[in-house]
Amino acid sequence: MENIIQKIQKLKRKRQAVILAHNYQRPEVQDIADFVGDSLGLSIQAASTDAKVIVFCGVHFMAETAKIFSPEKTVLLPDPDAGCPMADMITGEQLRELKARHPGAKVLCYVNTSAEVKAECDLCCTSANAVTMVREVLKGAKEIIFAPDQYLAAYVAEQTGRSFITWHGFCPTHAKILPEDVEREKALHPNAVFIAHPECRPAVTHLADKVASTEGMCRYVQETPATEIIVGTEVGIIHRMKKENPEKVFYPVSELAVCPNMKRTTLEKVLWSLEDNVHEVNPPAEIARRAYASIERMLNYRP
Ligand code: CIZ
Ligand code: SF4
């Protein structure tokens, strides 16, 4: 009898598929993936692979971004309901209205947006390259709209000295992390360093020894001499950190920082997606065409 992992491996070969998993996925899903990373790294992998099918273990906007950049490949999202509440906080219509009120502004959107929103943007960024893009690409811009994450916008504003026209979006998972959690964990582990994601509240990032995207965090924990690390992002990333640094100890800053959408993907759903060719992500061609340019610029700005 084949177990589920063997079944997935066999079907993957048969269908010439590759499995990409985000850093926030369940441990067992990360372990069967060909590549684990952030949305920037996963999009780059999706674009460069020879595979015909991409099983995207992440949330909808990530699979959609991969599809727009690799339209000739079949992109499957194992659970069609794996969305991102932050991405759903702004629609294309709402961004068009905001743009109409600031006609001269350049529009920078976070990768956590729908293709329809990306189609309205000049540039798209991830948390790994937002600061660089504002400093380099938008240097000459007089006004910048930065949507939808108000906390990421606040962080990038602090780093660059720029101010933005923002939207009131936020990540409900990162918003659960409170300064009290940081104080408590620091008191419990006085030798630990604290790392935070820029989607956290400013009151939390201000307490951090390092603020970084998930890939930036993975690099930092390998490079720091610290052996104890308090992790201020979605708890799923700790699986990868432990695997890459077996001698170090990791503490989630809050057990509540769990993204229910990232956890929707299970091994069973990965198998079913390969068996039944579901659920195909394929944004309308006209929207994909308009979103392409902003995504292309994002992929060229690698940290
Ligand atoms: O860009 C990503 O993958 C997200 C959502 C977070 C990060 O910092 O990697
Ligand atoms: Fe969206 Fe937050 Fe979940 Fe990331 S962790 S997918 S930003 S809800």
Nearest Cα to Cα of residue 197 among 47, 54, 86, 62:
86
Q: Does residue 218 lie within any of the structural domains?
A: yes
* DSSP codes joined into one string, 264-275: G--HHHHHHHHH
> Which strands form 228-232's sheet, in the order they lie side by side?
210-211, 193-196, 228-232, 249-252
Angle between helices 214-223 and 237-244 (to 10 degrees): 30
49 and 29 both lie in a single domain? yes
Q: Is 259 labelled a binding residue?
A: yes
At 90 the pLDDT is 98
138 and 71 both lie in a single domain? no
Please state whether 25 falls in left (phi above 0), alpha (psi between -120 and 50) or beta.
beta
* SS3 assignment, position 48: helix
Report the predicted TM-score, pTM, of the whole model to 2 decimal places.
0.97
Residue 13 CA to ligand 2 center (angstroms) comes to 31
Q: Does residue 296 lie within any of the structural domains?
A: no
* SS3 assignment, position 303: coil
Q: Is 197 labelled a binding residue?
A: yes
Q: Does residue 124 lie within any of the structural domains?
A: yes
Residue 139 CA to ligand 1 center (angstroms) comes to 24
Q: Per DSSP, which regions of 17-133 are E strands? A: 17-22, 35-37, 53-57, 74-76, 106-110, 123-125
240 and 267 both lie in a single domain? no
Q: How many structural domains does the chain have?
A: 3
Q: Per DSSP, which regions of 111-185 are E strands? A: 123-125, 144-147, 165-166
Domain that residue 92 falls in: 87-171
Is residue 38 in contact with ligand 1, taking CB distance under 6 Å? yes
Q: Does residue 294 lie within any of the structural domains?
A: no
CA-based angle 10:33:69, to the nearest 5?
Answer: 105
Q: Using alpha carbons only, how large is the chain's radius of gyration in Å? A: 19
CATH of the domain at 63: 3.40.50.10800
Residue 17 CA to ligand 2 center (angstroms) comes to 25
Q: Does residue 44 lie within any of the structural domains?
A: yes
Res. 302 pLDDT band, cuts 50 70 90: confident
pLDDT tens digits along 190-243: 999 999 999 999 999 999 999 999 999 999 999 999 999 999 999 999 999 999
pLDDT tens digits along 114-154: 999 999 999 999 999 999 999 999 999 999 999 999 999 99
246 and 268 both lie in a single domain? no
160 and 201 both lie in a single domain? no
